[in-house]
Structure 1
């Protein structure tokens, strides 16, 4: 529970932690923490640094305490034997002499073949390097060469008593050849290796507050920012054209409808047609109302969660390489916003004359957490089999389960009770008929699936360009830092989703199909299906990910993310359609 407490405190103190600088005196010992290693093309497949036979500290391994988010992110910090004392330069220094056995050679060769990288942390600054290199001979019959780097050089910049920057480089001339011909020629298939390192310090004028700017500049070069702004302008133009077109069409069409229906009211024998004809059925509650309300409640919670996350991001909480900060925020805020889902689900369920409200609240608790738990169990089992750091320790799983059982569920139940007791009857401007009208035969493009395709394509096209950078950040080694742009894109996504869903709802009512409740939810959430389809394109065409573990993590967790977007955007689409339907039926006289 100590890690959980640290996670909560760090969530709210992160902006202060960014600006608080540690000061050091000459020769002060500063730990260089080894974080993780793994294939560069498969970022989810990570292992502990000393799973490879590197030189270990003479005093034994010391694991650094980590927050909940750091553990979930696969971080496992452990001390190293490198002596990087403050302002102490070192020429080539022997770290250790190590005799590599056949098993050690096999591990190193596998790491070099799969392009393993390592990540280390020095005064909360990340640094990366590669384990070795592969040289393939032009002659197919020749032996492929596998080299492991044996020397690491550290360049560290400081400003007075504070560390500003650290870089690591490997010497391509200082390697050990672990190719088959060399290993087979050695006695007992053992190779003696000398691991060395060197350290150089240099002063800099860069202030401590700007030491993270290096990572921001590295991730987004000027041409990348131009592409970002181009995508924003493109999306804004799309929104303006869409909203202008829909507003013009809808206002003219609705104006004509209102004039027509006003005249019909003066002529009693005039037969009603169009959306006025189904006024007695349009507010008929949907089938499976308990499931529908559970989706609406969960979607409202996820929408609130997204707003809070964007707010924290825009004020600088998720600065570059804030290890696990986003995961900590997601866990804490999801638990704290659970009351929203219970309140919204139970209140709408009561308005729809639902009887089994206990079942509705329980369904709300599990509608998203249930699939998430099942997928987590599968992927965590895969990670355990691989012995990856992505596998959560038992203690962390217990903390998450306690968080869910003692905070999420009670808040959902409390919100459900409040929603059941405070909301009144459903506000419908028209009286609902006792028996539902039969829906006339409709062409194929009026069915649910074609409508969902039309509804999801336009919002997806508005966020398509930005998706690549998000995927490269989540499933790659880039870091997303321009959250202001992402917030604008998110706002555009909500606006486009609402407008396109309203338009399709009107066209559905115009052909006298009153089953708009579920249809508006499905059409609004269909963008999540397009995003999941983009996952396949990204995996096959834009990434080099491979391996069963990486595939299961990528498609498994992206399915959950897209499912969450489906629920959230479906809720947005339904709420927008509900306001629109109420407005147009209030504007006419219905008996």
Structure 2
């Protein structure tokens, strides 16, 4: 009877993979253009956003600053992932037709009022940068510079606005290969004083032929993460993680297995000895070890949510390894997260309801609702708060009403129905909980234990080792997500992820054994909490990264960083908690099958 659900789950996973790849393939196409142009033909140039360089979440529309705007500013239609990424592309004031050169061409001449001068000066103070896209190639540049004259007194600083951009473009036959923007440091406007200023915005365009093929034009953006110095650090991280895994494996093989072997021999001798001899150790609690945990509905919901997030992570890695998330494929990752999370909700429903019914839960419908809200609920509340903050700041990080409606429809028409279908399938699977020992009617009293065997110290011990195996790689991930580095070595990241799973499983199994050996039979929740405790360490690393390794500041950026990282770490807690419990369950079933229990 169990083969049919597993086959059905395989078909479901295959369908999810096909749908996700298809949706990303559709979303990855930026334009109907084939990126081929004739001499003098218009090449699409879009201005995207501006914002403080050190606050990646605090971004604003390009024309929120009083730049020269074209006569008809047109918004570019954007995919869901682009909107979630804070992109708001509009037509730019520069005309960079294919292979047409310009030398100091005037965009516009305008008189900046005192208020506009103050806006630009505030932006220069905060180290504002701009971002554009030319034929889907990213362009960056700073809008001004600070001249720190004097002896470090900020009141003596001078603020200058760049008014001349030079675009250097490389082409290969009829295709654009590379573009860069350089600001002329000698063509500036002094913004130090509050007074009206006349400014003439100009730009220069230079074209140069290259032999770089079109297929490799994105390689330069991923080159920095592949430098020998960085690769050396990445491999050091993997070696460090592998050493941790080997130590844990050796510990389990030499210590734990030897202890178990001695236990098996001892219990076999006890069975041959007098029947009234008192049992001790983990065999003594064989009648309680499979007693169902407290709050079984919450436990099953956490298990279902963790399984869904684990599946989501595996699919994201699959797409990354096949090259879907190439540098500056705008919004592809966010689109993948939304689509795959919606499509994998059936896995959460099936896992939670099936396990809940195995635990003889009385109300599977309520359990299904709890499963649907366990991760989405905190994420939704966090989003509401952060979106309100972004609206107050008038930032592009605030989602438009239409995008919120689209996400709500995805949740209503895809996530919720699949969750219900998965729950119904789990309810009808008729699986029984496999326990090699019968559970007694009344639980044994747990003997008093020293403080270091309580839940919190055990969680600290369980979370530290997996965290130590990944903390080096965490810096590069944080620098990519909350900075301007580009992360492209997904194969190394996948290896680190596998090591994280192995270390989490090993340490949780070891702590579960010691807990049972101390005759503490309440291991269900303990194994889940110990497995997931790495998520708490990652959040602790967030505090270190924010205050010691980054230059982020301001209420909005702080709120976004700690708010969304709390949701990510909570997701890791559920996912790794599921891994820790599953590993412990396999271990506990194995050792109790190996002895004779009355």
Specify the TM-score bucket, using the shorter chain as the normaliser: over 0.9
With 265-274 and 33-42 compared, the bigger mean Cα shift is at 265-274
**In structure 1, what is the Cα distance between the partners aligned to 2:398 and 2:38?**
39
Decide which of 157, 161, 168 is 2:170's aligned counterpart.
157
When the two chains are superposed, the root-mean-square deviation of aligned CA atoms in Å is: 1.6
- 2:253 corresponds in structure 1 to 247
CA distance in 1, matches of 2:70, 2:441: 79
**500-509 or 99-108: bigger deviation:** 99-108
Distance 2:114 2:245 in 1: 62
Cα pair 1:275 1:512 within 8 Å, conserved:
yes
Mark the CA change 1:221 to 1:89 in structure 2 (over 3 Å): closer, same or farther.
Answer: same
Aligned counterpart, 1:40: 53
Number of the residue aligned with 1:133 = 145
Q: Distance in 2 between matches of 1:524 and 1:17?
A: 41
Task: Report the CA distance between 1:530 and its aligned residue.
Answer: 0.1
Which residue of structure 2 lines up, in the alignment, with residue 329 of structure 1?
336
Shift of 1:143: 3.2
**Whole-Å Cα distance in 1 between the matches of residues 174 and 22 of structure 2?**
27
**What is the aligned residue count?**
578
Distance 2:88 2:278 in 1: 73
In structure 2, the CA distance between the partners of 1:401 and 1:15, relative to structure 1 (3 Å rule), is closer
2:489 corresponds to which of 482, 485, 505: 482
Once the two structures are TM-superposed, the CA of residue 533 in structure 1 deviates from its matched residue by 0.1
Tell me what 1:50 maps to. 63
In structure 2, C-alpha distance between the alignment counterparts of 1:417 and 1:453, rounded to whole Å:
38
Task: Give the aligned partner of residue 197 of structure 1.
Answer: 203
Would you say the 8 A contact 2:162–2:188 is kept in 1? yes
1:411-560 matched pairs, under 5 angstroms: 411-560=418-567
Aligned to 2:235: 229
Q: How does 1:109-148 map to 2 (within 5 A)?
A: 109-139=121-151, 140=153, 143-148=156-161
- Per the TM alignment, residue 365 of structure 1 is displaced from its structure 2 partner at its CA by 0.5
Matched, 1:405 2:412: yes
Query: Residues 536, 411 of structure 1: CA spacing in aligned structure 2 closer, same or farther, 3 A cutoff?
Result: same
TM-score by length of 1: 0.96
The answer to whether the Cα contact below 8 Å between 1:14 and 1:317 also exists between their aligned partners in 2 is no
Partner SS for 1:422: coil
Check the 8 A contact 2:111/2:196 in 1, yes or no: yes
SS of the residue aligned with 1:328?
Answer: helix
User: What TM-score results when the alignment is normalised by the length of structure 2?
Assistant: 0.95
- Please say if residues 7 and 328 of structure 1, whose CA atoms lie closer than 8 Å, have aligned partners that are also in contact: no
Q: Cα–Cα, structure 1 residues 422 and 494, in superposed 2: closer, same or farther, change >3 Å?
A: same
2:185 paired with 1:172:
yes
* Match among 111, 120, 131 for residue 108 of structure 1: 120
Contact 2:528 2:581 in 1 (8 A): yes
Q: Deviations over 1:158-179 (max 9, x none)?
A: 0111110000000000000011
Aligned to 1:552, what secondary structure does the other structure show?
Answer: helix
The alpha-carbon deviation at position 13 of structure 1 amounts to 4.5
What does residue range 62-73 of structure 1 map to in structure 2 within 5 Å?
A: 62-73=74-85
Following TM superposition, by how much is the alpha carbon of 1:32 offset from its aligned partner in structure 2, in angstroms?
1.3
**C-alpha distance in 1, partners of 2:29/2:46?**
23
268-277 vs 12-21, which deviates more?
12-21
Gaps of 5+ in 2: 1-18
Mark the CA change 1:523 to 1:168 in structure 2 (over 3 Å): closer, same or farther: same
Pick one of 291, 296, 306 that aligns with 1:289: 296
Sort the Cα spacing of 1:46 and 1:15 in 2 relative to 1 into closer, same or farther, 3 A.
Answer: closer
Report whether the alignment pairs 1:84 with 2:91: no
Distance 1:399 1:13 in 2: 17
State the distance in 1 between where 2:114 and 2:287 align. Answer: 80
What corresponds to 1:186 in structure 2?
none
Unaligned residue ranges in structure 1 (runs of 5+): 1-5, 184-188
Deviations 1:369-405, CA, capped at 9 Å, x for gaps: 0000000000000000000000000000010011011
Q: 1:18 to 1:394 in 2, by over 3 A?
A: closer
Write out aligned runs for 1:15-26 (5 A). Answer: 21-26=34-39
